[in-house]
Each structure stands twice: as C-alpha cells, then as structure tokens.
C-alpha cells in the first residue's frame, strides 16, 4: 500500500488559526511521556548552563575550560579533545556521525530528537511552562486572546515577558561563555566591564531565543526547520512513530452512544472525538488524520488519549508509538511485528560504529606537531659559480602541544648539504608551545641530478616528523 505523508491539513490548520489571529495554544497534560520530557528538559538545560563552568586541566599555557570554542586562537576544546584548523577533518567526521545518528534515530522512532531534545522544543516547553504558571492553562489563555486589558491582565503580560526575557538573556549570556573564559566573563558582568562585542552577541542570541521560543514555536518545527522537509524521503513505515489506531478508534462517537450501539451488538469505535489529542499538541495537528510531516513525535497526544481511555475504562494505546506497517497489519487482523532490527537499521548502526571508531582512532593518533615544506619555484634550481646545484625550501614547524620542544633538522635520501638560511650554525630549532617556526633552508649538491629528499625534524623525546620533497636540477 502506497502512503503519502499528509501536509495539507497541517497547512490548513495553520492558515485557519492565522485567519482568526489565534496561535497554537497547547493544553498541559500529565502522563509518563510528559514526565520523560520534563526529565530531558532538566537534563539538557543543566548541561547547557553548567558545562562552560566545568574545569579541565591541560597543563601550563593552556585554557582550563572543559568546553571552549576559542576562535580567536583557532582552537576548539572539548574535555580531552583539542581541535586545530589542521584537524577540521575530525570535526567534519563528527558532524557526519551526528547526522548519521539522527537518520538512525529516525529509522527507529521518527522525529524523536525533535520531540524531546531539540533546543527549539526544550526552550519552547520552558516558555510554555512560564506562560501557564502566570496566565493559566489553555482555556484561560484562549479567553485572554483579544480580551480587553485590565490591570491584572497587564501585570500578567508584563510578568510573562519579563520572565521570557530573563530566560533569553541567560541563554544568550551562557552561549557567549562557550567562546571565552566563563568565570572571567562572569566577573566582568558583575563589575560592569563587558565589551561591546560581547553585549552585542548576547542581545542577538537573546532576541533569537525570545522570538523563536516565545512566538514562532510551531512555525519553526513545521516550516522553518529543514528536518521535517526530509521526512518524505527518509520516513520509514517500520519506525515506531506516534500513530492513531484507526481500526480500533473508528467509527467515532460519544461514550454514551457507543455503549448503546454495542448493546445492540454493533461495532463502535473507542474514539469519543474529545479532541484532547489535538489540544495538547504543540504543533496543533490532528494525528487521527494520518501520518503528518509536522508531527515531532513528542507523544503528548499519547498521554492525553491514555488519560481519556482510563477514565472510560477502555484499554490504553488508541494513540501510541507504533509502526505504520503494524497499523496496516492490524487492519488485516494480523499480528504486529517488531522490525526495529532490520537491514536498514543494522547498516546504519554499523556505519555509525565504524565512523565513531575512525574518529576515535584519528583523535588517538592525532599528531601534536606537524612539518610542512614548500620548494622555491622561481627559480627551481640555481647553478653556483663552482658548478654545484642549489635548491631552496621553506619549512614550517608547528608545535601543537602545551610545552616547548627543540627539534633537530636533518635531510636524507639525496646527497646534498643542508644549510639553514640566516647564519645559523646549528640545525636545532626551538618552537614554543602552540606556536610555529618558519625557516628557509638550502640543499647544495656537487653533482648534477635529481631525486627524492626527506626532511626530518626530531624533538628531544625522540619523536620524529618527516616530509618528502624533490631535489631538482632544472
């Protein structure tokens, strides 16, 4: 059976709400999934706000902040990981791995990331919590829309936006902490000695948080984020997503009418058309209309529906995390099949493990120093007055460690004499911590010919760096 993920009713609902000037106002709900979401919210916010203040000892001359994006010096620090511009391939690998894990999660449980841990979802939940505490739940907030302003209502609006702004500035300020020494910047805030550049970025990030979590909300998840647009290409009917068991819920009718119909021996659906699944949805969609690209798989409609079923004395799970193929199997009176482990998920898991292993090996074997060489091109070779040939090179030694090293420079592979330009009588080079040294060298051969030359720089510990180039005669 071919299935098209529905988007029209999401757009229709959004247009209808916009036509009357009414935003999506979700109702609060209680249940196990909501409790999990609260737990994820507390965990993610704690990680976000606390991480910049975690210390990590890296030795002398190195920052002690565990996570630091030091763009000014071209360094990215994350606990024991240190990324230099030359190591951006590792960062690229981490991004590819993250995308692969996201695709794997989608193959297992749809937009699970979107519904539980996405920053837009987390901060929107936090803003909604503040809104409910100050203005009341959905019914009261709907009454407030378009109602005349009273002193009480004005105070509520002012308190809500003040709380939102406080959260937004805390969010923007914390984000800045990831780019500089957090305790130092915090002391600058306390003393009022903050740079204009830092204040500008805090205002930008605070305004972004305030606008997206306070006002855009469902529009971000439905229209601004690219991830739902990919669902048509990567949606998997075997993934455990939020679905409505229509074979059990239809035909919809009130509980009283359903009891009368069943008394007559006729079938009646469990769905009483209470609309609770719609009122609690943060996106404002009706999951009973079928799979929807806008559904973030948060499961709040599951809690709402289970609560209604419990009150009516009916089995839970009318709306539940279930694969679409199992919905179709149940329509045919077949047993459900759990296919979380299948070739697609096995392949994605293997790919993720392989990439993680490759990145781990790359981090473990990442060099703490590099040597590069560039052959002079104009001219390539110079004939000296005594008939010998000379080639010139520019060598660059980069020391990425936190301590100084003394490197001894040698050349092999071709019979030529090495001379460091600048009057140096010895071939030892001192390179300070996290710095580089550039030097020009010449190779002089008494006889014509050309071949491979190997430059080697060895430090006092015996660790050696080698790079190959060519000695040319013309």
pLDDT tens, residue order, the chain (474 aa): 445 455 454 445 545 454 445 689 999 999 999 999 999 999 999 999 999 999 998 877 788 999 999 988 888 999 988 888 888 889 999 999 999 999 999 999 999 999 999 999 999 999 999 999 999 999 999 988 888 889 999 999 999 999 999 999 999 999 999 999 999 998 988 888 888 888 999 999 999 999 999 999 989 988 888 888 887 788 899 999 999 999 999 889 988 898 898 888 888 889 999 999 999 999 999 999 988 888 999 999 999 999 999 999 999 999 999 999 999 999 999 999 999 999 999 999 999 999 999 999 998 888 888 899 999 888 888 989 888 999 999 999 998 887 889 999 999 988 888 888 876 656 788 888 888 899 899 999 988 888 899 999 998 888 899 999 999 887
Write out pLDDT tens, residues 38-48.
Answer: 999 999 999 99
Residue 120 pLDDT: 95
Residue 26 pLDDT: 94
Q: Which of 404, 369, 382, 395 minimizes the C-alpha distance to 454?
A: 395
Residue 463 pLDDT: 86
Residue 299 pLDDT: 95
Residue 9 pLDDT: 47
423 sits in the region (left: phi over 0; alpha: psi -120 to 50; else beta) called left
Could you state, in order of their start, the residue ranges of all structural domains in the chain?
1-18+227-335, 19-226, 369-471
Q: Are the C-beta atoms of 176 and 202 separated by less than 8 Å?
A: yes
Residue 425 pLDDT: 57
d(CA 474, CA 470): 11
Considering the domain 369-471, what is its CATH architecture?
A: Sandwich (2.60)
The count of other CB atoms within 10 Å of the CB of residue 342 is: 12
Residue 427 pLDDT: 73
d(CA 283, CA 13): 10
Dihedral sign of CA atoms 430, 436, 437, 441 in order: positive
pTM: 0.84
d(CA 192, CA 36): 40
SS3 47: helix
Beta strands per DSSP E along 266-403: 319-322, 369-375, 382-383, 389-399
Residue 18 pLDDT: 45
Residue 2 pLDDT: 47
Which letter does DSSP use for residue 213 in this model? I
């Amino acid at each position: 059976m071919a299935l098209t993920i529905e988007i029209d009713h999401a757009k229709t609902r959004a247009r209808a709400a916009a036509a009357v000037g009414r935003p999506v106002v979700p109702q609060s709900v209680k249940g196990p999934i909501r409790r999990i979401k609260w737990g994820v919210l507390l965990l993610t916010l704690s990680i976000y706000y606390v991480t910049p203040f975690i210390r990590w000892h890296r030795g002398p001359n190195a920052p002690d902040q565990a996570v630091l994006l030091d763009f000014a010096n071209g360094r990215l620090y994350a606990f024991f990981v240190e990324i230099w511009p030359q190591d951006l391939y590792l960062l690229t690998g981490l991004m590819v791995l993250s995308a692969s894990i996201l695709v794997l999660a989608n193959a297992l449980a749809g937009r699970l990331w979107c519904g539980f841990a996405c920053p837009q979802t987390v901060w929107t939940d936090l803003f909604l919590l503040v809104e409910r505490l100050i203005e009341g739940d959905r019914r009261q907030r709907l009454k407030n829309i378009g109602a005349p302003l009273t002193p009480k209502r004005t105070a509520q609006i002012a308190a809500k936006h003040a709380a939102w702004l406080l959260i937004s500035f805390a969010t923007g300020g914390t984000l800045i902490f990831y780019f500089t020494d957090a305790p130092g910047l915090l002391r600058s805030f306390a003393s009022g000695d903050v740079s204009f550049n830092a204040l500008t970025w805090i205002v930008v990030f605070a305004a972004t948080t305030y606008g997206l979590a306070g006002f855009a909300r469902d529009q971000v998840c439905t229209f601004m984020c690219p991830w739902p647009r990919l669902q048509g290409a990567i949606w998997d009917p075997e993934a455990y997503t939020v679905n409505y068991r229509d074979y059990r819920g239809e035909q919809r009718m009130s509980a009283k009418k359903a009891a009368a119909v069943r008394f007559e021996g006729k079938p009646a659906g469990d769905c009483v058309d209470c609309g609770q699944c719609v009122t609690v949805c943060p996106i404002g969609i009706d999951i009973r209309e079928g799979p929807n690209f806008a559904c973030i798989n948060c499961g709040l409609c599951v809690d709402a529906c289970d609560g209604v079923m419990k009150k009516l004395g009916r089995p839970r799970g009318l709306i539940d995390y279930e694969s679409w193929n199992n919905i179709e199997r149940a329509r045919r009176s077949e047993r459900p099949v759990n296919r979380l482990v299948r070739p697609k998920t096995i392949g994605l898991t293997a790919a993720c493990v392989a990439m993680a292993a490759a990145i781990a090996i790359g981090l473990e074997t990442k060099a703490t120093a590099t040597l590069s060489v560039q052959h002079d091109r104009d001219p390539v070779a110079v004939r000296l007055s005594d008939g010998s040939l000379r080639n010139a090179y520019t060598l660059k030694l980069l020391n990425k460690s936190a301590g100084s090293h003394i490197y001894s420079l040698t050349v092999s592979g071709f019979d030529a004499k090495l001379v460091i330009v600048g009057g140096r009588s010895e071939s030892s080079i001192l390179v300070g911590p996290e710095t580089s040294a550039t030097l020009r060298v010449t190779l002089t051969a008494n006889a014509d010919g050309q071949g491979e030359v190997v430059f080697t720089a060895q430090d006092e510990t015996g660790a050696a760096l080698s790079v190959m180039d060519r000695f040319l005669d013309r």
